[in-house]
Structure 1
């Protein structure tokens, strides 16, 4: 009996030890699994933070009050026209087709704060504007009046910038521009016009900061406020009967600072 009882105790203790070992093994596996999960989550978090990291260029750019740069641009320009219908004729057609121009110059920016900025500078622009009097929409004028000239331009513009997001921000701009005609290409078909102009300008653009410079593409609209029309001394063509001539330009300007 004693031997049988001891055998039963020994077998019972063996089962208890086996269950205890299994329980400890399960606990160890759970702990190991939790540790592995924590390590994986930590690694994913670190990678996510690393992938979201963006290097900020020129972080204290707005703290400097004055910035210098240069620009070049491409322009589409023409004249806004009008004429005396009693003299031109009710069925007369006056057109000013668009032509391309080029702009290059230097710029200076004066920062008031992180949102407002005064922009000025001096540009040299090459424009060619035309006036034509076609007989009909299907019969273009083969000998339009042309004014091909070089302009010296001084803009005075107020710029409002949005909040900077990493390395870029949007802005709007508006103001006036003084233009003085410096040189006119003489042609037999050249039209006469005033040599100075004041324009209303407005537009929008994007500032993009890079490691060594700031890249700023801009769309700008320009509407002349000055009547550039000068009546010829002799009535050689229909241009003599006009009374209104103002400039109109749309420009794509690339600024570097």
Structure 2
């Protein structure tokens, strides 16, 4: 029987809270701009340049989506296998290529420091926790749709795919009985929304992006911790702070 903990519900609501805060900030900015009358337009010819560069800092909230196999009901002694949402850190740079008035081509190569967990609950034994501390290099290819710019504000939507490679792989780490084995590559489907604020010398853009793993990162082995698992896929919600 699967048990839902209050702390898990708390983490699951974080993406919704961030999205609401982002939308509220856009509404407030729009109301303030309408009430101020004339405002100076910063970086007026920003879109005339074909390519822009920048840096980013981000906070991902990540977990594994777990699909059980047939052995979970018959041969596995665990009655619950789950992955709680964990906060992480990401930093990288941005390359944005202008396509036309509405669309850009964008990539944000970055380094991410993750700590994912898989928790095993047993009816008559203490809970087991398998921690996955890892460093990943992630290279997305994204298409960006921009709204019409209103003085110094602009909304945008973004979508694409990301290739990810784990860099601190320890060979044979899943061969023992105490750790779960996972693959060192991943592909994700990404989409999100953002809000651009133009200042005198730079552009700041908070962004909320959702990522869903397309592949199965579970590596079958003789490990006892993998007996009840048929598929592991990554799910991540990330708050970006972009500076260009």
TM-score by length of 2: 0.77
Partner of 1:203: 192
Q: Which of 1 and 2 has higher RCO (CA within 8 Å, sep 6+)?
A: 2
Residues 132, 141 of structure 1: 8 Å contact kept = no
How many angstroms does 1:129 deviate by? 1.0
**Aligned: 1:162 with 2:147:** yes
Q: Which residue, 131, 148, 158 being the options, matches 2:133? A: 148
2:166 matched residue in structure 1: 181
Task: Give how far 1:87 is off.
Answer: 1.5
Which of 210, 222, 225 pairs up with 1:233? 222
How many residues end up aligned between the 2 structures?
202
CA distance 1:105–1:190, shift in 2 (3 Å)? farther
Instruction: Give TM-score scaled by structure 1 length.
Output: 0.74
SS in 2 for 1:94: strand
Runs (5+) with no aligned partner, structure 2: 1-35
More helix by share: 1
Provide, for residues 5-49 of structure 1, a one-character-per-residue CA deviation record: whole Å limited to 9, x for no partner.
Answer: xxxxxxxxxxxxxxxxxxxxxxxxxxxxxxxxxxxxxxxxxxxxx
CA deviation map 1:72-100 (0-9, x unaligned)? 1001100010112x421278222111111
Q: Cα deviations across residues 215-241 of structure 1 (Å, max 9, x unaligned)?
A: 00000000000100111224x33x223
Post-superposition offset of 1:141: 5.9
Contact 2:169 2:184 in 1 (8 A): no
Match among 232, 236, 242 for residue 249 of structure 1: 236
Give the secondary structure class of the aligned counterpart of 1:59: coil
